[in-house]
Amino acid sequence: MKFQVAAGILATALFVGDVNAFSFVPQRSSIAVTPSKSISNNGRTRSSSLVMKDDNSKFSFANLFSGEGAASGATPTRVRRSSATLEPHPSQRDHINPLNALYPPNKQAIEESAGKSTTPPLPFHPAVQSGVLSNGFSYVFLPNRSPPNRFEAHLQVFSGSSDELEPQQGIAHLTEHVAYMGSRKRERLFGTGSQTNAYTDFHHTVFYAACPTYSPNTGSFGSPQPMLPMALDALCDVMEARCDPSRIEKERQAVLSEMTMVNTIEYRVECQILSTLHRENRLAKRFPIGKESLIQKWDRDDVKTWHRTHYRPDNVLLYIVGDLDPQYVQQTIEDKFGHLTAEKQGSEIALPELKGDASDLADAVVGNTLKQRQSWHYPPVRHDFCVVEGVKDLLDDETKLVETGDLEVVEKKSEDESSIGSIYDIHLQKPYSLDDKVKFLKEAELSPGKVIRPHIFKHELLQNFSFHLFAKRPVEPIKDMESFRRSLARRVCLAALQIRLNVGGRSDDPAFTFVEFNQLDSAREGCAVCSLDMTADPPRWREAVLKSISEIRKLGIHGVTPGEMERYASALLTDAEQLAAQGDMISHGDQLAYLMETVANGHTFMSPEQSYAVTEQALSTLTLEEVNRAAAELCSHITGLNDGELTSTGKVVAVACAPKSSDNDAAFVDDDMLCQAIREACTIEVEPVEDVVVPHTLVTPAELEEAMKANPPSWESGQFSDGTPNTPADRITRPFTLRRLSNGIRVGINQNPAESQRGHLRLVAPGGRDAERRLGFKSGSLAVGARAMQEGGSFGSFSREQVELFAVDHLIMVEINCNEESLVMDFVFPTTNVGNSGYGENMKLGITGTESVLQIVREILVDFNWEEDALGRSKSSYRTAHESLGKSLEGKSTEMIMDAVTSGDDRFLSIDVDTVNAVTLEDAKNAVMSQLRPKDLEISVSGDFVVNEVLEQILQYLGTVPADANAEFEVKDATMEFDSVPKLAPGKHLDLELEDSDPRAVAYVAGAAPNQWGFLADGTSVAQRVSEADKRASDYDKQRRAHPLFGNAALSLISEIANRRLFSTVRERKQLTYDANFSLTGFERMKGGWFLVTVTASKEKAQKALDACKETLEALRKSNPISVDNLESAKRVVLNRHEGELRTSQYWATIMSGIQEESIPLKGPLSVTDFHAVIEAMTTTDLQLALDCMGLEESQLYTAIGKTVQPEGLVVDEIVKASPMAGMGRGGALMG
């Protein structure tokens, strides 16, 4: 039942397809070596660019930022501005405005073209406003009220690592740190409930602030003050950064630490991929992290020179999204940024000797790159595009740049040829002194005219074989109905293929463990990248390559079936309808990410309502022929590798990453073998797929009627252990309705209109890995069994493929996990009718997504089919995870310290290979089904629905599950009480070494802590200990501390304060790391837990960083206790986070889970209804006394340092390596 892969991949294909013009979409995912997220912040990955054009459009809208139009092919001229005292900026040139389609003259021209063109333009969002100040500063504002009384402002500087000169490699990232971290005005935002950060990528540097519209009426602010001026002051301060030497030194150490932190094996794989994919342009040699040797040397003049060269008003774009008045926003922008001038910035360039080089680069950028020809958001690059003739016709007639297919130096002559008289190597094809020693990539001809660029990367830390096949294509701006229809056709194709790969491709013994095919517009790379990404067991790499390529060829040659066409077109329409229903309830952050990506790639920015209207209009007439034509074009780079099939011009890039192996090993692969496998895959005859009969419902009305008669359901009162009175069985209550079914299932339901037409259901069965021990099951059986249930999905007479396609049709995603304490099933679903067919008046409605989910839950409980092949996939996944753990410095070190603090308790450790292999299908089935007794289950559901209607559906589908369902699996006379975590022995220090070619280190501090609700391993509680320690407590304080949420609130605030202190001490004051993190295990049912401080540092500084973390924790307890300011700031963070998350149905489902569960005695309705009051009432005394409940004494601490050591006799391969540290993954950026 791999619904999260089936429907989740569908979501990727539908939401993040190669076009984003018509519906709000989340960020594109990175290319995956494993199906995990690329390194990036994780929380806020804002790597999207901001221009008007799309990755497939060519060079148009070449209007100057000043508003004076110029043809794209016009000779670039340096900007001359009159000034009595200042010379023109040496790097400023006339260039296309970064607003692209939202640049007022361009927008007007597009709107006026309606009725004059054969294909009408797409409508612009009616509320978006944009403009350009007289100094060239561009801005865009989108009013939005989700959440109310807040806004986000992002300042995008259109210079990143790809704009760096040879001696500046890494300076864009360092300057980002210096500019924002050194801003005094940014510090004024602290304690206001604001969040700030910054990130650097190939093509840009972005600074942002997310703030309330008014400052809190507390602390030093007095009465509330408007926050927009304060936020823009901080962003303007970035434009006028002082570049203090002390700040440069602090940030230098942070950046060097970051180099160590990000240098995982996954990061190095991304380095290899990017270096190969972009060999013909600057991206291969200009990664954001830069060169360590250069970073160590730069001083104030170096940083200031970069800053003043690139931080110019014409080279930035300000985005603001939020609950603000448009006129007020425009006036504030003018007031804060109107005084900036490029001439003043140029006059402060500190290194005159770099002015000439920067000027030459500026000439080349506007003369011979996609940055000037298509979008100012793009890096200054060219590409070896791989396109078919039909796609070429869509581009502008200026095709000289995209048709340059060799790897030679691209000529760009200066304006004054007589003074320089040489070719400027804008694309860095010549060797340079700072280049790494590399073996230049070779290219192979698979057949006449079919060119492929292969590359193999091998490393001892790699566990799996991964294969990445690429074709780069121009971005096509989605700005009219014709381009919009093509984008829809592509998305249908991508969805169909992805589901084929992940549903039909998972046989009893699948060749690959992960596979994805997609085409995504990438502003950071300046192109659309069509990619096949696949992982497999190393000995089976050839089989996996053959299988994955054959599936792509099948789509390219035979297209999609009528059933697939209907299925995925319907899904597209449902997605657009859901977004239209959300309207202005889409969050500021999501709106801003979509706006940035849309502007960057030249798409038309539409409202969700407009998107839905044009989607319905386009889909109603979209034909199967159009979709299959799109399929042929998408797959042409692969089908074209075989003679006689639709071909494309340009190069195909193939990268394989594998563990090191001997020549006679089955896992061995080299360039020639890889090319041979690709050639063989392209000659295999492929047959068209046949449509699968997909059920419209899993439970028929007749079956449901029979169940209602056999097991008549009824409602009973909700019962709680936190002191809340029982809730009635016949009334709706706020903010949630809590009841029990007559069969024992606990039910919590919440109406959440903030996520329109969407819902989240969580099923929790208490037990988890703790139950394996308590109930006498084989170790690992519950965890492996839960994954087998995820991998399976056959119900009754329906096959796995039918059930998974049912989930796809109804846009349902399912994830099943087993943790230390429980079995958890999460379902994400639409709340409207889905699985519809037809359009407009001819539409036939399917059942609602809510009803579909309840059918799936019912079938899991009463009619699930356990399959050996699903168990095999589960065991393979766990084996791979454990083996990979041994090759990860962080993973192996964390396992080592957890093994120490738990005394080897296997409930808290990775499941080893022998344990996994010992689990049989019967073991897994017995363990999992023993947890699925109705009397033990709790269902929590939140969404945009009518509560009474959903309660009635729950009554019918789940209330009719027999009370004795799965009774045959119940373990008789077993204890149901959860164990405590193991009691800690006296602390100790541990060291670990891991062989790796690159030096890295990580350090840990761990100790005893309460669980999430304040219970310690000995059974006492935080509230109890605090009350006993505070002999002078008032009656009010005693009453507060008796609240069931007290311990939870205290620990949340302590965690925030500890993280802020670690940052201030270890990073800021001592300059030992990029970041240090304090976290709590957060168990809910088991008593006790641990805290863990993680810090990444260089090998030389690891011990000092560890000592600094210990010193920080000790200071919190004694020498530098928690202050009122610390507490108030932490309250703002905790409350703002809580408020923001309350807008999501997932959060509601999470906080409702356990409310009616006896094994979490302090979690009840009061934990939600009294959250704000309890947090606001906390005092510094509460937190200081709560700190004493943790094992923070020196003798109680467990510490560890993990370091890499070079293998004996290491010989560094002559592999392509663009820098000692690559930039972030293809979808991410370096966070500040």
Which residues are designated catalytic? 176, 251
- Secondary structure (3-state) at 509: coil
Q: Which residues pair with 359 in a beta bridge?
A: none
Q: How far is CA 457 from CA 282, 652, 668, 980, 1094, in A?
A: 21, 17, 12, 46, 30
> For 936, which DSSP code?
G
d(CA 317, CA 185): 20
Please, are residues 1089 and 1009 in contact by the beta-carbon 8 Å criterion? yes
CA 161, CA 408: separation in Å to the nearest integer? 22
DSSP 1157-1186: -TTSTT-STHHHHTHHHHHHH--HHHHHHH
C-alpha span between 495 and 913 (Å, rounded): 35
Tell me phi and psi for residue 254, to 5 degrees.
-65, -45
**β-sheet bridge partners, residue 649:** 387
Query: Can you name the residues that pair with 1021 across neighbouring β-strands?
Result: 1015
Question: How far is it, in rounded angstroms, from Cα 1104 to Cα 1108?
Answer: 6
Q: How would you classify the pairing of strands 514-522 and 1076-1080? A: unpaired
Tell me: cis bond preceding 753? Omega within 30 of 0 counts.
no
User: What whole-number distance in Å separates Cα of residue 20 and Cα of residue 25?
Assistant: 6
Phi and psi for 823 in degrees, rounded to 5? -100, 125
Angle between helices 1046-1062 and 1124-1141 (to 10 degrees): 110
Cβ-based neighbours of 177, under 8 Å, separated by 6 or more:
198, 251, 254, 255, 1232
Q: What is the CA radius of gyration of the chain?
A: 30
Cα dist from 1204 to 262, 263, 890, 1071, 1102, whole Å: 14, 12, 11, 22, 12
Share of the chain residues as helix, strand and coil, in percent rounded to the nearest 5: 40, 15, 45
Virtual CA dihedral for 614, 619, 623, 624, nearest 10 degrees? 130
- List 1114's β-bridge partners, or say none: none
Measuring CA to CA, which residue among 744, 763, 748 is closest to residue 1163? 748
CA distances from 390 to 26, 53, 489, 634 (A): 29, 20, 15, 12
Which residues in 1116-1147 are b (16+ Cβ under 10 Å) and which e?
Answer: beeeeebeeebbbbbbbbbbbebebebbbbbb
The answer to whether the peptide bond before residue 147 is cis (omega within 30 degrees of 0) is yes
DSSP 3-state assignment of 767? coil
- 758: β partners: 830
Instruction: State the amino acid at position 81 in one-letter form.
Output: R
Non-local (6+) Cβ contacts of 589 within 8 A are: 44, 152, 210
Q: What is the enclosing helix (H) or strand (E) of 966?
A: none
DSSP of 241-267: ----HHHHHHHHHHHHHHHHHH--HHH
CA dihedral for 719, 725, 731, 732, sign (positive or negative): negative
